[in-house]
């Protein structure tokens, strides 16, 4: 029995199985970009991937888990492709992450529009919303948690709430870009300057001074032109809109 179980586990990680799983998740993201969450069909994923619908359910469990897994895997794949110049859990990393990730996402407006529609919907499945929230909080979570550990936040600030508020602000800026209400650079500036403004009000004197100095610098010089952004690892989209904010 043990030998058979071991052999089955090896089979689950065989190149063919890994490739099939990736194909399913890639097609999941493409379908979400094409049709949105409400019209997403596991059956259509199976047809495009050449995999039986029941096999997909056997692998992932539920429709919602397929979507959440696709979001998480895509986020981790993209993040591993970035090469940052700044140190983790710092103000500079927060700025760099916002700018690099946003500029690298030029070719995926339909996918991001679908993600924002899901994020702001009232009836989004909790597992899918948590996956999107993880992505939204990632750029600033390390810095805020570091400030909290150092006692550099005002006593009335709850770090978890601040992290959530910064994610909501960033996603609102992204949603406005998806709607065509702002251009790409305006959206990125709103993410960065808005996040710093939040933290300036939440931080103690020394950190506030550092944040205000950075805001003055960015207002004077503009956003940095980072060299670390690769091409976006985006779902296939037929769209010629300008770069993501």
**Three-state SS letters, the chain:** CHHHHHHHHHHHCCHHHHHHHHHHHHHHHHHHHHHCCCCCCHHHHHHHHCCCHHHHHHHHCCHHHHHHHHHHHHHHHHHHHCCCCCCCCCHHHHHHHHHHHHHCCCCCHHHHHHHHHHHHCCCCCHHHHHHHHHHHHHHHHHHHHHHHHCCCECCCCCHHHHHHHHHHHHHHHHHHHHCCCCCHHHHHHHHHHHHHHHHHHHECHHHHHHHHHHHHHHHHHCCCCCCCCCCCCCCCCCCCCCCCC
Give the mean pLDDT of 223-244: 52
Instruction: Please give the tally of structural domains in the chain.
Output: 2
Give the mean pLDDT of 168-184: 95
For 31-42, what is each residue's pLDDT tens digit? Answer: 998 888 888 999
Q: Are residues 36 and 109 in the same domain?
A: no
Residue 201: domain span: 85-221
Q: Give the end of a domain, one of 43, 70, 97.
A: 70
Q: Give the end of a domain, one of 25, 45, 70.
A: 70
The pLDDT value given to residue 228: 55
CATH number where 50 lies: 1.10.10.60
Confidence band of 43 (pLDDT split at 50, 70, 90) = very high
122 versus 229: which is more confidently predicted? 122
The pLDDT value given to residue 131: 95
Q: Are residues 48 and 99 in the same domain?
A: no
The pLDDT value given to residue 6: 40
pLDDT > 80? residue 236: no
Q: Are residues 153 and 188 in the same domain?
A: yes
Q: Are residues 122 and 167 in the same domain?
A: yes
For 13-31, what is each residue's pLDDT tens digit? Answer: 688 888 999 999 999 999 9
The pLDDT value given to residue 12: 54
């Amino acid at each position: 029995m043990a030998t058979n179980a071991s052999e089955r586990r090896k089979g689950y990680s065989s190149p063919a199985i890994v490739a099939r799983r990736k194909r399913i998740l890639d097609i999941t993201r493409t379908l979400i970009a094409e049709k949105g969450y409400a019209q997403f069909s596991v059956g259509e994923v199976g047809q495009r991937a050449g995999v039986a619908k029941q096999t997909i359910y056997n692998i992932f469990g539920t429709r919602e888990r397929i979507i959440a897994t696709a979001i998480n895997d895509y986020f981790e794949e993209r993040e591993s492709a970035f090469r940052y110049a700044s140190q983790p859990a710092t103000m500079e990393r927060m700025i760099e992450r916002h700018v690099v990730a946003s500029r690298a996402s030029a070719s995926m407006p339909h996918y991001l529009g679908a993600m924002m529609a899901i994020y702001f919907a009232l009836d989004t499945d909790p597992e899918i919303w948590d996956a999107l929230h993880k992505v939204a909080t990632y750029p600033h979570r390390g810095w805020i948690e570091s400030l909290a550990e150092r006692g550099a936040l005002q006593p009335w600030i709850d770090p978890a709430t601040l992290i959530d508020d910064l994610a909501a602000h960033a996603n609102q800026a992204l949603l406005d870009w998806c709607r065509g209400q702002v251009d790409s650079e305006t959206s990125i500036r709103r993410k960065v300057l808005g996040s710093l403004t939040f933290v300036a009000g939440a931080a103690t004197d020394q950190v506030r001074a550092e944040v205000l100095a950075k805001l003055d610098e960015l207002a004077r010089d503009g956003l940095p032109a980072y060299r670390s952004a690769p091409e976006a690892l985006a779902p296939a989209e037929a769209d010629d809109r300008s770069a993501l904010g």
